[in-house]
Amino acid sequence: MLKENEIISKTLLTIDKFKGSVETFKASITGGEYTSLNMPNCFTRTLVWKVCLITESLNLSLINQKLRDSRLVYHSLIHNKEMKIPWHELDPESAYYQPVNTIKRNVSSKHKSSARGRKNTLDRVQIQHDPLSEDSSTTPQVEETHDDHELLVAIILDVDRLLPGDPFYQEFTNKKQLVEILYIWSKCNPQVGYKQGLHEIIGLIFMHLAKESAIIPQTNTFSSDDLKILNLYDFNYLSHDVFTIFNRFMIQSGIITNFYESEQSLWNSIERFNMYLMKIDQFIHYTLNTKLKLEAQLWIIRYLRLLLSRELGEDVETTMLLWDKLIASQLSTDHSGSNLTAIPELLNFIIIQLLMQKKSDIISSDFSECLTLLLHYPINFTNDEARNEFIRKLYKDATKLYERKDNDLKLYEYGVKLNKDKMKFEKTRLEMRLKKKVQSMLNT
């Protein structure tokens, strides 16, 4: 957790640097400037996610008001009898088991009086199958079983397997808090229910925001503005804020609609990907679909549904750098409202670029080799600077393709440019390797 003075300092420096402008703040995020590497004295991921997905403001008073409103929603939900988590129905040997008379909610009492009488609703969508495959039979469906115990067991099973090597999820309290958020979210979206894979997305968000949270001391040494800043990072409201962020990230963006809603919506998304791939790089499209007959649904479902979280290497910071940019997007969309709706299309263009990065391997592989490459996408960076630059360029070129998505010729031309740039880079890298080898031979 961050210390109070560090939180206050970073937040004030950020607000001052961007003069309170959310647009400028988002542009710095998408441009790769506002990162822990480039701005270590003021970067905080909590501010990125809560400003982009909850407050849409850098004004401290407005931030606090919007946080209060969103937290009231979660507070009312967890005190709704229909949302009561059946810990007591678990096997008594389970670490999560609680006798019915000992069950307590891990929430602040500050909302008790203000939450009464408020009617809160959440976006609801329909989903019929598992996010990682077209067969949903392996995961309990809330709308089919109406079994809260089965829902809870399914969530616990996945959360217990989340990031097994990370110390954060070795802490039982962190896992239990995440289980509660997912359970409430699933109950709020009965036509969606819980699907395997959702825990991986919310798990990364929860972990990063938790690490920046703080337990606010009861003292009068902080000013009014200091307390407003600390409220943004209050550990007591971590679950409230993660719930709101996850709900808006998944639903307002169209991630749910495009990749989860139905088998047909997923198929349409894959077809749209294939269409873009054919327009941008016909050679890769021909190799995969005609030469190798390697259909996209064999490998791309995980890319789309888990938002590339497994394809960008073992360092989860790489994934978060990309997600930071996605939620800060300010691209014009076909719909009035949230810029988040550009995310599904941006993912298509990012995946196409990842294929172009491995073009020589793809075109020289057989079916088995190519499928293995796609299911275990090879990626590594020599240092943090290389990682950040890779993500910055990946996102930048995705936005360029997005801006040309309705013009076939411009898409093709930009695809040619990307291929030329890659060939130039590969040529330079080869020349440097040969130069080093010759130098080494001369020195021996």
Three-state DSSP at 295 gives coil
H helical segments located in 328-383: 343-357, 359-363, 367-375
Give yes or no for residue 438 having a pLDDT over 80. Answer: no
What is residue 120's predicted lDDT score, i.e. its pLDDT?
40
Q: Which residues of 333-365 are buried (b: 16+ CB within 10 A; e: fewer)?
A: beeeebbbbbbbbbbbbbbbbbbbbbbeebeeb
User: What's residue 330's pLDDT?
Assistant: 93
Q: Do domains 81-94+141-252 and 255-443 have the same CATH topology?
A: no
The mean pLDDT value for 262-287 works out to: 96
Cα gap 153→47, rounded to integer Å: 33
First to last CA, the chain: 52
Residue 291 to residues 356, 364, 368, 385: CA-CA distances in angstroms?
17, 11, 13, 37
Distance between CA atoms of 310 and 319, rounded to whole angstroms? Answer: 8
> Is residue 142 over pLDDT 90?
no
Say if residue 97's pLDDT is above 70: yes
Assign 117 a pLDDT band (cuts: 50, 70, 90).
very low
pLDDT of 239 above 70:
yes
Q: What pLDDT score does 143 carry?
A: 42
Q: What is the pLDDT of residue 426?
A: 60
Report residue 327 as tokens: 């939620």
Which amino acid is present at 1?
M
User: In this structure, what DSSP letter does residue 139 have?
Assistant: S
Q: Name the architecture of domain 81-94+141-252.
A: Orthogonal Bundle (1.10)
What pLDDT, on the 0 to 100 scale, is given for residue 174? 97
pLDDT recorded at residue 125: 37
Topology at the third CATH level for domain 255-443: Cyclin A; domain 1 (1.10.472)
Burial of 79 (0-12, 13-18, 19+ CB in 10 A): middle
Inter-residue contact 254 to 260 (CB < 8 Å): no
Can you tell me whether residue 214 is helix, strand or coil?
strand
What average pLDDT does the structure give for the chain? 88
pLDDT of residue 129: 37
Indicate whether 132 pLDDT > 50: yes
Higher pLDDT, 144 or 232: 232
Q: Does residue 336 have a pLDDT over 70?
A: no
Percent residues over pLDDT 70 in the chain: 86
Residue 432's pLDDT is 65
Q: Is the pLDDT of residue 381 over 80?
A: yes
Closest CA to 186 of 137, 135, 141: 141
205 against 440, higher pLDDT? 205
Mean pLDDT confidence for 327-354: 88
Find, among 187, 200, 131, 133, the residue nearest to 160 by Cα. 200
Q: Give the number of C-alpha atoms closer than 13 A to the C-alpha of residue 220, restricted to the C-beta side.
A: 0
Rounded CA-CA distance 270/276 in Å is 10
Question: What is the residue whose two structure tokens read 């067969």?
Answer: 135
* Confidence tier at 109 by pLDDT (50, 70, 90): very low
- Residue 319 pLDDT > 90, yes or no? yes
pLDDT at 419: 94
Q: Give the residue extent of every domain in the chain.
A: 1-59, 81-94+141-252, 255-443
Write the DSSP string, 65-134: HHHHHHHHHHHHHHTSGGG---GGGS-TTSTT---GGG----S-STTHHHHTT-----------S-TTSS
pLDDT at 118: 37
- Taking alpha carbons only, the member of 377, 368, 351 closest to residue 285 is 351
